[in-house]
Amino acid sequence: MRSWLSTRRGKPDLPPLMLARFEEMGFDLSQFVPALLRPPSQTFRINTLKAEREQVLKSLSYLEPEPVGWNDLVFRIKGRLKLGNLLEHFLGLIYAQDSSSTIPVTVLDPQPDEEILDMAAAPGSKATQIAAAMRNTGLLVANDVSPGRIPSLTGNLDRSGVLNTVVTRLPGQAYGHIAAERFDRVLIDAPCSSEGTLSRSFKALEIWSKSAIKRLSTTQRKLIMSAYYSLKPGGVMVYSTCTFAPEENEGTVSYLLEKFPQARVESINLEGLKTQPGFSEWRGEAFNPAVKNIIRLFPHQHDGEGFCVARISKPS
């Protein structure tokens, strides 16, 4: 294991290259790094496929849940009680989910009776959120290329009472060919370098490198193109990652806009959410001006993991 993975008081020494990149992004490391490594407040999402909102809030009133603001089914709690050990979670009445992780589906805004693709669905937090918003109607295709992740996906779908979903195990790149212009909405919560999740797990550090970012951005470009091909005219897709790397965010969205100038990156406004706009350039590369409508979430400004979210529409 790399020497910089030594720890002090249980926290890792971040790789110098990563720290240098964060500084280049404009972060004050004395504020940003402690916030990045500090666990955010725990949050849960009420699963309306199995329970009423008020019923769950009454059952969990001892946790003093507080609404996040941008989604009336997502709540923060005080203290470090493990939500995954609660009976309500076991029964599928709630889903323990970081607040940032609930934002891509909130932005996607799924509707009943639609056909929707979740291109990289495991372990299922966003797929179950989509199915609930669809009220178990229409069709949700929950895809993941990794055979090792399918059991967690199907388990979470079952626990959450999801009935409108087909699980597939295909490369996401395939959907643009086999299901061209099929879906009303597509979610790509893309595989990424996971820099924003270090408060939860240091595993991302084991694979993080400049070459990994380049490799992942190549995959992401193929996925976003496939997602756009699979959208119906007039459809909407959301591209999201849990990393800060501009190559994996603005770079990927700019690549799509280069190939499809008619695609529109829509503005995102969510009540009570502290966000920053997408970067206009990175290391001499100017991005498409439309990427300013991407929202970025930083842990020193937002009580949640680091995330980046873009909502993109296809003209009719």
* Burial annotation 271-293 (CB, 10 A radius, 16+ → b, else e): eebebeebbeebeeeebbebbeb
If asked whether residues 201 and 144 sit together in one domain, one would say: yes
Query: Residue 297's beta-bridge partner residues?
Result: 307
If asked whether residues 83 and 180 sit together in one domain, one would say: no
Task: Specify if 56 maps to a domain.
Answer: yes
Measure the CA–CA gap between 193 and 200, rounded to whole angstroms. 14
Q: What is the CA radius of gyration of the chain?
A: 19
Task: Specify if 216 maps to a domain.
Answer: yes
Measure the CA–CA gap between 92 and 96, rounded to whole angstroms. 10
Q: What is the pLDDT of residue 10?
A: 52
If asked whether residues 70 and 181 sit together in one domain, one would say: no
Q: Which residue has the tokens 């920053």?
A: 276
Secondary structure letter of residue 278 according to DSSP: P
Q: What is the pLDDT of residues 198-234, one digit of tens each?
A: 998 898 899 999 999 999 999 999 999 999 999 999 9
If asked whether residues 195 and 66 sit together in one domain, one would say: no
If asked whether residues 68 and 163 sit together in one domain, one would say: no
Q: Which residue has the tokens 């470090």?
A: 80
If asked whether residues 31 and 59 sit together in one domain, one would say: no
If asked whether residues 217 and 247 sit together in one domain, one would say: yes
Q: Is 242 a catalytic residue?
A: yes
Q: Structural domain of residue 137, as residue ranges?
A: 8-38+99-313
Is 312:254 a contact under the CB 8 Å cutoff? no
Measure the CA–CA gap between 152 and 141, rounded to whole angstroms. 16
Task: Specify if 14 maps to a domain.
Answer: yes
Say if residue 48's pLDDT is above 60.
yes
Antiparallel, parallel or unpaired: β 281-282 and 285-286:
antiparallel
If asked whether residues 195 and 245 sit together in one domain, one would say: yes
Q: What is the pLDDT of residue 78?
A: 87
> Which of 97, 125, 141 is at the close of a domain?
97
Choose, from 242, 263, 290, 297, the residue flagged as catalytic: 242
CATH of the domain at 71: 3.30.70.1170
Secondary structure letter of residue 279 according to DSSP: P
Domain tally, the chain: 2
Task: Specify if 2 maps to a domain.
Answer: no
Residue 315 pLDDT class (50, 70, 90 cuts) = very high
Q: What is the pLDDT of residues 5-26, one digit of tens each?
A: 444 445 668 999 999 999 999 9
Query: Residue 236's beta-bridge partner residues?
Result: 185, 313
pTM listed for this prediction: 0.95
